Amino acid sequence: MTQDLEMKDRSTPSNSASSPAPSTLHHLKEIASLIETGSYSKEVRRIARAVRLTIALRRKLTSSVISSFLDFVLTPASEAHAKLSAYLPKEDDHEMEVDAATSAIQTPAKHLLPELEIYCYLLVLLFLIDQKKYNEAKACSSASIVWLKNMNRRTVDVIASRLYFYYSYSYELTGDLAEIRGNLLALHRIATLRHDELGQETLLNLLLRNYLHYNLYDQAEKLRSKAPRFEAHSNQQFCRYLFYLGKIRTIQLEYTDAKESLLQAARKAPVAARGFRIQCNKWAVIVRLLLGEIPERTVFMQKGMEKALRPYFELTNAVRIGDLELFRNIADKFATTFSADRTHNLIVRLRHNVIRTGLRNISISYSRISLADVAKKLRLNSANPVADAESIVSKAIRDGAIDATLDHANGWMVSKETGDIYSTNEPQLAFNSRIAFCLNMHNEAVRALRFPPNTHKEKESAEKRRERQQQEQELAKHIAEEDDDDF
């Protein structure tokens, strides 16, 4: 579960590592100036870029670099400076002083932007989480959240959404997610009132994660169905949303929709987010099995996933063969894996599918078979196997899983001859639905085409406009003449 948290971070490889960087501090200063220009020109894009650059620098952050950066950006005596410096460990005091002295001379006290202050919080928080100082991280993130609540600026939103994320992450690491649920809900409400869509998106995902952490699927679904939805701003957040949605739907037995969400999440996730994709694949495999599909072997052979998906591969195999005994053994063998993945309850549901597949195999291979043999082949462990087999078979017939009839007096099952499907309307219906799908796809694609506003007007050159106006005038004259003729 924690792997997917790291998704965003891994997806940005630290490309600055190749060149011998002037110094991390220098980079940070550049980022600060980027934020400054972004803030003055109200360009959110620049700030988003600053956040991206910071993540690339993440591995190189040290206590001294951050504290000298704080001295550079914040007024040394200010409240924020004091608060933030308190979180940093004071091991290499000496070096820091030198740095601070030089930077203090270079930059006389200047007007502080809220973006920069909040950025400092983010930086310190990142550092604390990387140093595994989770309690300090919790304190720092909570302080920043209090501060954020009173800050209504669109240029802050990008940094704020990252802060929300690390806020929740630091609480998750210490296992106190339940504590901040109320706070997250309040933040989501504030973000909605301020039309901060990125914030809403991030917070909704954090809330869903929060609920699902405690298996509160009911609450999660209620929130999800009522929260406002809009076009996704961030691919990563959208992937997460799809994953959570898929999980909720799986639990609520809407397998077809769940499969769609989970597969989409797995496809959209960046290649570097391996942990996240493994999770998606695990759930997708189970959902497909529950739907009665058998996932292809290539699903389990994806690079870097073979080992993690191994239990699910063997499970699929058991379902494919339709052997209850094998299924039971595998469920027991990997019980710890499945309960760690929290898929155990889903696997219990699969038993029913194993029986169905086994039954289908029997029905294909035999034209007539006694119910006692069916029970033996399915390895039903029960007190009264024949009666059980009879009712199981009759339910399978009703659900359309097999095409057969039962003979109670003789106690056997007679499979029907599979008729010639081409003598029915079936192929034509299938053909029609495929054509309809293609046509629909085309129409949707046309509808999704976007045109920049006013392009059709610009195309009209000055000459053409004159021509058109002339035509219109002539037409007007013509009409006027006709009017005259009437009199």
Residues that bind another protein (CB under 8 A): 215-218, 251-254, 339, 344-345, 348-349, 351-352, 355, 382-384, 387-388, 391-398, 404-409, 419-420, 423-425, 428, 432, 435, 439, 442-443
- What is the distance between the alpha carbons of residues 166 and 63, in angstroms, rounded to a whole number? 19
The CA dihedral of 385, 398, 426, 287, to the nearest 10 degrees, is -70
Question: How would you classify the pairing of strands 412-415 and 404-407?
Answer: antiparallel
Q: How far is the CB of 414 from another protein (least distance, A)?
A: 10
Q: How far is the CB of 334 from another protein (least distance, A)?
A: 15
- Give whichever of 398 and 459 is closer to another protein, judged by the CB atom: 398
Q: How far is the CB of 231 from another protein (least distance, A)?
A: 27
How big is the chain by its Cα radius of gyration, in Å? Answer: 32
Query: Which amino acid does the sequence have at 235?
Result: N
- Give whichever of 102 and 443 is closer to another protein, judged by the CB atom: 443
Query: Which amino acid does the sequence have at 475?
Result: L
- Give whichever of 443 and 469 is closer to another protein, judged by the CB atom: 443
Q: How far is the CB of 376 from another protein (least distance, A)?
A: 16
- Give whichever of 25 and 355 is closer to another protein, judged by the CB atom: 355
Residue 405 β-bridge partners: 414
List CB contacts of 458: < 8 A, sequence separation 6 or more.
none
Q: How far is the CB of 283 from another protein (least distance, A)?
A: 14
Q: How far is the CB of 482 from another protein (least distance, A)?
A: 37
- Give whichever of 195 and 349 is closer to another protein, judged by the CB atom: 349
Q: Are 134 and 172 in contact (CB under 8 A)?
A: no
- Give whichever of 186 and 406 is closer to another protein, judged by the CB atom: 406
Structural tokens at position 358: 């086994």
Q: How far is the CB of 309 from another protein (least distance, A)?
A: 23
Q: Are 132 and 168 in contact (CB under 8 A)?
A: no
| Residue 111: closest CA among 80, 76, 84, 75 | 75
- Give whichever of 66 and 389 is closer to another protein, judged by the CB atom: 389
Look up residue 370 and give its DSSP letter: E
- Give whichever of 41 and 440 is closer to another protein, judged by the CB atom: 440
Q: Are 278 and 292 in contact (CB under 8 A)?
A: no
| Residue 107: closest CA among 75, 65, 67, 66 | 75
Helix (H) or strand (E) segment spanning residue 273: none
- What is the distance between the alpha carbons of residues 309 and 322, in angstroms, rounded to a whole number? 20
Q: How far is the CB of 455 from another protein (least distance, A)?
A: 22
Is residue 179 left, alpha or beta, with left meaning phi > 0 and alpha meaning psi from -120 to 50?
alpha
